[in-house]
Structure 1
Amino acid sequence: MLSASSKLRVLYLLADRGHDLNLDQGYKVHVWQTIENLKKRNHQVFLLTINQDRNLRDFQNYKTLPHRYLPILHHFFPYTGLINSSRIFFNILHFHRKFHFNLIHERYGLYSLGGIWAAEVLKLPLILEVNAPLIDEKILLGYPLKGAQKVIAELTTRFVFRKCNLILTVSRILKKQLMRKWDIPESKIRVIPNATDREFFNLNGKFTNGDKFIIGYVGTLQPWFGVENLLYSLPVVLKKIPQAELHIVGDGLQRPLLKDLAKRLGIDSHIKFFGYVSFKNIKNYLETFDIAVAPYRPIVTGFYGSSLKIFEYMAAGKPIVASQIGQIGEILQHKYTALMVEPGDTEELAQAIIKLAQNSGLRKFLGQNARKLARKEYTWDKYAEKLENMYYTVLKSHAQN
């Protein structure tokens, strides 16, 4: 019987071929921080993933399975995840003989069954980490699942949700969505929000921008992040704060559209697009911001995410303007850790930015309070501690059953 002080052997499974762990995207940060901080707590973590590049630059103790595209088979059976599931299954059986895992921690992916098959055969508990409602997310991205593809995705998702021991989500909004859509009991779902790297606490905020006032945004340029609202608000801001400059750090599908919008609004000379920046270099840009903005817009599914940028803004001690939406509205407190605005309201967004630009005392007050909250509640080492406690609870329940 494992005790609460036992050191665990965890298989971390990422079976979604769309997640390349050599790219500095949010999912890579989450996976790496989870594994590294579990290791700091003296647990052994083995990573098994579908990744076209066999070598993962920032990981140790892993096995990559390159995606196999078989044209003839895919013509009749175009469900890559199901094909990869059998490879995942047999690899877990193989590595279990060497590592003797205590549990499987799987990051949910469409059509992924290999983890739950192996858990059933090996009689291991499986914790399913769900970061997004992937079937609904396909709709937001503009390529919804249809016909047999949708049916199979729903069947496999329902099967894995039913068979796993516990579901881990990043927000209460997502928890409620899963309960409602998949009829999952509340007791089967736990929530642990994302977190921030302690390196962001080292930013001293003393960078000087001369006469410029830098409004900053960090993140992917996808429609639901609402960066276009930031552009629409900028002409109003410039009337009051003519020295304002918008710095956009990140890349994505909307970048060319945003550049075109900036030209049409006549504000392109006040905007800098820095494009893709690696995670380790983000803090260099964040340090130059006078304020940091998260202008999310409303989405039909409800905002279910746990925004990494919010925690990074907080840890860096930056005064924040953010949309009152989803988990962001639960973590940030209006006029104490941020100025909160109605999602999609460009006038309110502009006025909040102007208010902060004209009040250095308020900027300092909000930034200091946000940093204190991040340091107390939202660091990756605290995330790993919560995850560890959840592991022990699941293992105890699994042993009793």
Structure 2
Amino acid sequence: MRILDSHEFIELYRGHKDLILGYLLSKKYNDEYIFLCPKINSYADEKLFNQKYFQINNVEKILGYIPENLKFVFYSSIRLYKKIIYFKKVESTNFFQIPIGYISKVKKIKPDIIFESNYTTLTPRSYLNFIASKLFNIPVVWIDCADGGRMMAFRWIEKIVANNVSKIITYSNGGKERLINKYNLDPNKIIVKPKPIDLDKFVFTERSTNKKIFNIGYVGRLAENKGFDTFIDIACRYIKNKQLGFTAIGEFTSEFEREKLIPRIPQNLKLMGHISNKDMPLQYSKIDLIVIPNMTNPPAFTTVLAESIASGIPCIIGIKGYEQYIPVSEQDACFIVNPKNVGEISKLIDVLIDMPLQDYNELKKKARKFAEKELSWVTQLPFYRKVFAEAIAMHR
């Protein structure tokens, strides 16, 4: 099977997240997996590596080695930006790119299938994949992030592209609902499968009686729209409790928010800054409880939540009203609360820190069990290959 992988950018700041499926398929099944990607880096990778253009040696450092049947084909493009505005403070970040010579590259590769990571609002790349699919009779499979974005301005033309896709994999029932409602798609072509995770990276350990400090963690952008201000307020509530510690991993989204929030940081809240992807499993192992104050902007099954579950960490998630966008619940040690509700979160923290050690470790086991059953590549890899094979067979 020759698979063409179409990402807007291959982003390495998150480690092997964009690479792992191709790496595993090329090793286990000897499939030919080809990343068709722009020469230019995303804004995030340019910032991390201090390199404007994609360097293959960065891939080698992450994967260890690149199998012969795992290949990269590059095209030129124009990188565009969107402006994120915070009270007159403007931050730039890449949104998408306009590919140059894309269709000729697809023609030369001659893939059996195009596997596209689509954006909630389709970018030029999606339209080019649609044209290539029609010209060269190639089936397209989407992997949809399943967030709650509902940008409808280009719905009339996006529907044409979406209805040409053979199959769509989405991470949640909420994602499936959005796709059906937005594009009037046949529900049978949409498959719900939670976000995969490299479970071997995340070490599961039970909480020990020797651990005196109960560490409550926040992971992600230090931004008000993600609820970091709420996390600060929660830490302030427990400033006198010497058995509780608070840790925040991530960077501020803008200088404006940094200047606004830094003076509010209490002594019991430690800011770790940016932690590299390879070092995150160690950081998760030090955290006893993850708090995600607001997961509604947009609602989605995020990588932070998936990695926390894989690490066996109970989670408090501010996503009430949008539960359909995550595949977990209290039975998986994930407790749902109203977004940015300090009172609800604090009450749950009180219950959890007073829980007998044996009962708390049972919660940790529930989280890990869900990850082993639903998120591990042991179950995910044959699923993806089966979807690809079915899409190819349907198209013939």
- TM-score bracket relative to the smaller structure: 0.7 to 0.9
Letter in 1 for 2:318: S
Q: Is 1:48 aligned with 2:36?
A: yes
Deviations along 1:286-312, one digit per CA (max 9) or x if unpaired, are 11112222222544x6x2x22222222
Q: Is 1:318 aligned with 2:289?
A: no
Letter in 2 for 1:179: I
Deviations along 1:82-141, one digit per CA (max 9) or x if unpaired, are 852x52111111222xxxx2111111141222222222122111112222569747xxxx
| 2:248 aligned residue | 248
User: What RMSD in Å do the two structures reach over aligned CA positions?
Assistant: 3.1
Q: Distance in 1 between matches of 2:351 and 2:139?
A: 51
Residue 343 of structure 1 and its aligned partner are, at CA, apart by 2.4
| 1:261 aligned residue | 261
Letter in 2 for 1:9: R
Q: Distance in 2 between matches of 1:381 and 1:66?
A: 36
Q: Distance in 2 between matches of 1:307 and 1:81?
A: 20
> Does the C-alpha gap of structure 1 residues 377 and 250 become closer, same or farther in structure 2, counting only changes over 3 Å?
same
Residue 323 of structure 1 and its aligned partner are, at CA, apart by 2.9
Equivalent of 1:22 in 12, 34, 53:
12
Letter in 1 for 2:365: Q
Residue 257 of structure 1 and its aligned partner are, at CA, apart by 2.4
Q: Distance in 1 between matches of 2:374 and 2:79?
A: 44
| 2:44 aligned residue | none
Equivalent of 1:307 in 302, 307, 310:
302
Kept after mapping to 2: 8 A contact 1:317/1:370: yes
Residue 385 of structure 1 and its aligned partner are, at CA, apart by 1.8
Residue 177 of structure 1 and its aligned partner are, at CA, apart by 1.1
| 2:134 aligned residue | 120
Kept after mapping to 2: 8 A contact 1:33/1:380: no
Kept after mapping to 2: 8 A contact 1:298/1:344: no
Long gaps (5+) in structure 2: 41-52, 61-65, 81-94
Residue 243 of structure 1 and its aligned partner are, at CA, apart by 3.5
Equivalent of 2:277 in 275, 279, 286:
279
**SS of residue paired to 2:4:** strand
Kept after mapping to 2: 8 A contact 1:194/1:383: no
**SS of residue paired to 1:67:** strand
Q: Is 1:12 aligned with 2:8?
A: no
The structure with more helix, counted as a fraction of residues: 1
> Does the C-alpha gap of structure 1 residues 69 and 274 become closer, same or farther in structure 2, counting only changes over 3 Å?
closer
User: Within 5 A, what are the aligned runs for 1:2-401?
Assistant: 8-14=1-7, 16=8, 19-24=9-14, 29-42=16-29, 43-52=31-40, 53-56=53-56, 57-58=58-59, 60=66, 61-68=71-78, 83-84=98-99, 87-96=101-110, 101-109=111-119, 110-112=123-125, 113-131=127-145, 136=150, 153-154=154-155, 156-205=157-206, 211-239=212-240, 241-253=241-253, 257=257, 260-261=260-261, 263-264=263-264, 267-299=265-297, 303=299, 305-325=300-320, 326=322, 331-334=327-330, 337-359=333-355, 360-399=357-396
Residue 259 of structure 1 and its aligned partner are, at CA, apart by 6.7
The structure with more strand, counted as a fraction of residues: 2
Residue 219 of structure 1 and its aligned partner are, at CA, apart by 2.3
TM-score normalised by structure 1 residue count = 0.78
**SS of residue paired to 2:141:** strand
| 1:143 aligned residue | none
Kept after mapping to 2: 8 A contact 1:226/1:295: yes
State the identity as a percent: 19
Long gaps (5+) in structure 1: 1-7, 71-79, 138-149
Residue 203 of structure 1 and its aligned partner are, at CA, apart by 3.8
Residue 282 of structure 1 and its aligned partner are, at CA, apart by 0.2
> Does the C-alpha gap of structure 1 residues 339 and 130 become closer, same or farther in structure 2, counting only changes over 3 Å?
closer
Kept after mapping to 2: 8 A contact 1:209/1:288: no
Kept after mapping to 2: 8 A contact 1:216/1:246: yes
Q: Distance in 1 between matches of 2:157 and 2:148?
A: 12
Kept after mapping to 1: 8 A contact 2:294/2:339: yes
> Does the C-alpha gap of structure 1 residues 319 and 54 become closer, same or farther in structure 2, counting only changes over 3 Å?
closer
